[in-house]
Amino acid sequence: MLIAGTDTTTVTMTWALSLLINNKKILEEAQKELDTQIGNKRRVTESDLKNLPYLQAIIKETLRLYPPVPLSLPHAADEDCSVSGYSISKGTRLLLNLHKIQRDPCVWPDPSEFQPERFLTTNKDCDVRGKNFELIPFGSGRRMCPGISLAIQTIGLVLASFLHAFDVKMEEGMALEMEEVIGLTNLMGSPLEVLVTPRDPVLVYQ
């Protein structure tokens, strides 16, 4: 679980940071929330995460656009069944295209746009824990990802800590490419290289 969680968590944080760099107003809003809730005299702690709804919305929107595992792990039908008019025989191997489900234009307005605000308004009650089938980056049911709680806490704490402590931008003249390399995990096509500068007093880093 820890080995699998390391790769997928890293992938998600890379996509989140890339999306924020490409959307400076959203990045500024996220840092404004951090400054309001935490200030610049201390580090972010795990207990702060519940007071950062905009950051949580950013994480949900990242998982929607770039699920770390774009195709769910294989499942097998226990018995003959019918799903949306399709007959599925017992023993059939099933794969869910999470990438496609979570960009369905019938469910998500502007499905390819990075809009964290949707999880503060129209989709406020939509969660990633498998109860809302339009957003299932960790799967759903008894065989959903067992590391979901670890992933959510880790991504939230690391991303919040990084955005709180550093300003981040691309090197001047450089463009950020958002090309996907689809494999077992949803990797970026090229490494993410950014410039970071401290944004808090020295005592925060000690």
Tell me the mean pLDDT in the region 129-147. 88
Least Cα distance to 61 among 8, 11, 6, 117 occurs for: 117
DSSP state of 189: S
Tell me the mean pLDDT in the region 34-46. 93
Lowest mean pLDDT among 66-75, 102-111, 121-130, 159-168: 66-75
Least Cα distance to 155 among 79, 96, 80, 68 occurs for: 68
- For residue 53, give both structure tokens: 């709804």
pLDDT of residue 4: 61
- Which residue did the predictor score with more confidence, 186 or 107? 107
Residue 53 has pLDDT above 90, yes or no: yes
pLDDT of residue 167: 93
- Which residue did the predictor score with more confidence, 187 or 122? 122
SS3 state at 120: coil
How do residues 94-122 score in pLDDT, each as one tens digit?
888 999 999 999 999 999 999 999 999 99
pLDDT of residue 69: 87
SS3 state at 164: helix
Number of domains observed in the structure of the chain: 1
pTM across the whole model = 0.91
Rounded-to-integer distance, Cα 38 and Cα 27, Å: 16
Residue 6 has pLDDT above 80, yes or no: no
Tell me the mean pLDDT in the region 14-41. 94
Instruction: Say if CB 156 and CB 59 are below 8 A apart.
Output: yes
Is 81 labelled a binding residue? no
pLDDT of residue 14: 93
Instruction: Say if CB 157 and CB 49 are below 8 A apart.
Output: yes
Residues forming beta bridges with residue 195, ordered by sequence position: 169
Q: What is the dihedral of CA 145, 44, 12, 33, to 10 degrees?
A: 110
Tell me the mean pLDDT in the region 61-76. 89
Residue 195 has pLDDT above 70, yes or no: yes
In degrees and rounded to multiples of 5, residue 97 shows phi and psi of: -85, 85
Tell me the mean pLDDT in the region 148-174. 89
Residues forming beta bridges with residue 188, ordered by sequence position: 180
Rounded-to-integer distance, Cα 204 and Cα 206, Å: 6
Least Cα distance to 124 among 135, 114, 138 occurs for: 135
Residues forming beta bridges with residue 76, ordered by sequence position: 93
Range of the domain at 119: 2-205
Residue 2 has pLDDT above 70, yes or no: no
Percentage with pLDDT > 70 across the chain: 97
CATH code of the domain in which 120 resides: 1.10.630.10
